[in-house]
Structure 1
Amino acid sequence: MPHVRTDDGVGIFFEVYGKPVLPDGMALDCLSVLDALGWREAHVIGHSMGAMVACKFAAMFPQRARSLTVICGTGGGWESVPLAPRPLWLGLQLLFSRSAARRAAVDVQFHYSPATLRHKESAHAATQHERLLEEYIAAAAGGDSAQPLHGMRGQLWAVWKHRLRGREARAILATRIPCLVIHGRDDIIAAPRHGQRLAARLHCPFLLLDGAHFVFRESAALVNGLLRSLLQEETPLSQALQRATGQAPAAALPPTAKLEYRLRNYHLMGPGDLADG
């Protein structure tokens, strides 16, 4: 059974250091955690800003990464700024949200696809949107509050300053570890084209799934199945992808080509599973 450690920063770094910490510094913290645990290597998985930290870790300490999975990641800078009208409008609403209920109403629209939010088990059941609102508000009431303002400022600064330089991408490629980029088709925080570009730089498969920024919940069974294959090292990544998607890798593509797997209308988990986490 693999051991798992998570690093979920929502402002703690700012409080500890008194200033924003960039993904490079967070990667150093991850190394310290591995050393403290006595782990020589780790399968590195990162989501959103964590995807940037994961890439930095694999580039800075390539001998310590056993695989790299990037979920809803970008290359930082302008790629981290959602310039489409909908995310800009939601961002303004988020900025002026003064209650947990209002914050939750905006967060769920940022995190999940419209199709997920509209879904209901039956004609008389609550929509997924209503159930997620209840979940988010209950979490806030239970002390799992929204990200503090100083944490949000620090995170925005970190993703804006992040860059994966050419030499860093080459350092990851030189390790020949399995790499995978997963993205939600309807992600309005990290546009799918940025994930596609990152996959091309890492010369690895790009898996585009139905879902948004929280695609790991919306397509949980598929994402977890692929991660389990990586963690347990049961089969090569190409075989795991083929088994999960039903699509064989294109053998005619050169080794440096981007392999893209598109799944349409792929729903593997029920609404109850989503609402329960």
Structure 2
Amino acid sequence: MTTTPAAPAASPWGPLRFAENGPVRLAFDEWTEQTGPSARTGPTGGEPLLLATGLGANRLWVPDGLCRMLAEHGFTVVRYDQRDGGQSTHLPATAARNPIAALFAKRQSAYTAEDMTEDAIAVLDELGWDSAHLVGVSLGGAVVQRVALRHPERVRTLTTMASVPGDVAGLRALPYIRLSTLAKFARLKFPDTREGAVAAGIEVTRLLASPRRTFDEAAARAAVEANPDGGVYDQEAQSRQIGAQWHGPSIDGIDRPLLVLHGEDDPLIKPRAAKAIASRVPGARLVPLPRVGHEVPEPSWERIVTEIRQLAQSS
């Protein structure tokens, strides 16, 4: 008796696309899975929502389950890779070769934080979206704050998670960062192979997880084997991202509806960073996430999506 191999599961994501900001190409894709018998897909199928990823991480680190829930709550979801991450353009090396060195460097010549801000706008332009709800995780949270300062007309609502204030960089960011955790990242050394990327992904996931939840190594391995992202240990690329300096106004000038999410157990970015953002932006709402580290674990998805939906409805 012969059996026919099962067909691979269809991806819930549409085709890989690119936006351009000068010489930089930004990789992005759109959630297209039907979420119900009457669901629609594409830019007219829901309120536009753009997800910005964190330091070094590609867009696939945003959990599919979270994106599915956002789609079910009426959003058209697009995620993109920051420059120097994923399938977006990677820039030439600079003097700073690890994130700690980049924090202490006086000058970063690769690009500015304004350049990274315009990357997000380039993706919106390529999509044909006049405005969107912006959601940024970690570094992505700082980026979307800066979008709201430079292009408020393009922002419907703003959600940051596990982020520092968008107007700090370099030494000014130090009060919000746990250097002991950043040092652990700097010590990670893995071969530049698929196996190395998997091993690095597991260790990074372990470092960022809440210590109040049992670490599920099997689940972590399955996730990183499906997404062996070398960006999580590409310290040179991370140093260019973290070293990008902001020259714009303070976040006190943000006038878009803002939701500030932060894991109570975040081992990388101190919760005081979220309190600083919420205290400085008029009308911002701070929502601590219990038993959450510098991550987006499944038990937090419902709360996150509910809060983002309520923010959209109130805007």
Distance 2:111 2:88 in 1: 7
Task: Identify the match of residue 8 of structure 1 among 72, 81, 96.
Answer: 81
The CA RMSD over aligned residues, in Å, is 2.7
Equivalent of 2:260 in 175, 181, 189: 181
Does residue 54 of structure 1 match 2:144?
yes
Q: Secondary structure at the match of 1:213?
A: coil
For structure 2, the 5+ residue unaligned runs are 1-45, 48-75, 94-109
Distance 1:37 1:188, change over 3 A: same
Q: Which residue of 1 aligns with 2:208?
A: 111
Equivalent runs, 1:40-79 vs 2, <5 Å: 40-75=130-165, 76-78=169-171, 79=173
TM-score normalized with structure 2 length: 0.59
**SS of residue paired to 2:80:** coil
Alignment of 1:118-137 (within 5 A): 118=214, 128-137=215-224
Q: State the identity as a percent.
A: 23
Question: Deviations 1:182-203 (Å, cap 9, x if unpaired)?
Answer: 1011111211111211221213
CA distance in 2, matches of 1:226, 1:48: 18
Task: Note the residue ranges of structure 1 that are not aligned, 5 or more in a row.
Answer: 119-127, 238-277
Match of 1:208 in 2: 288
Deviation (angstroms), 1:93: 4.1
Task: State how far apart, in whole Å, the 2-side matches of 1:64 and 1:83 are.
Answer: 33
Query: Could you tell me whether the CA contact under 8 Å between 1:183 and 1:215 is conserved in 2?
Result: no
Aligned to 2:254: 172
Deviation of the 1:219 alpha carbon: 0.9
* AA at the equivalent of 1:91: F
Distance of 1:139 and 1:154 partners within structure 2: 22
> Paired residue for 2:230?
146
Shift of 1:209: 1.0
Structure 1 157/71 Cα, relative in aligned 2: closer, same or farther at 3 Å?
same
SS at match of 2:287: strand
Letter in 2 for 1:73: S
Mark the CA change 1:100 to 1:29 in structure 2 (over 3 Å): closer, same or farther: closer
Q: Is the 8 A contact 1:111 1:214 kept in 2?
A: yes
The Cα shift of 1:112 comes to 1.3
- Cα gap change, 1:201 to 1:154, in 2 (>3 Å): farther
Contact 2:201 2:229 in 1 (8 A): no
CA distance in 2, matches of 1:202, 1:217: 29
Determine the structure 2 residue equivalent to 1:264. none
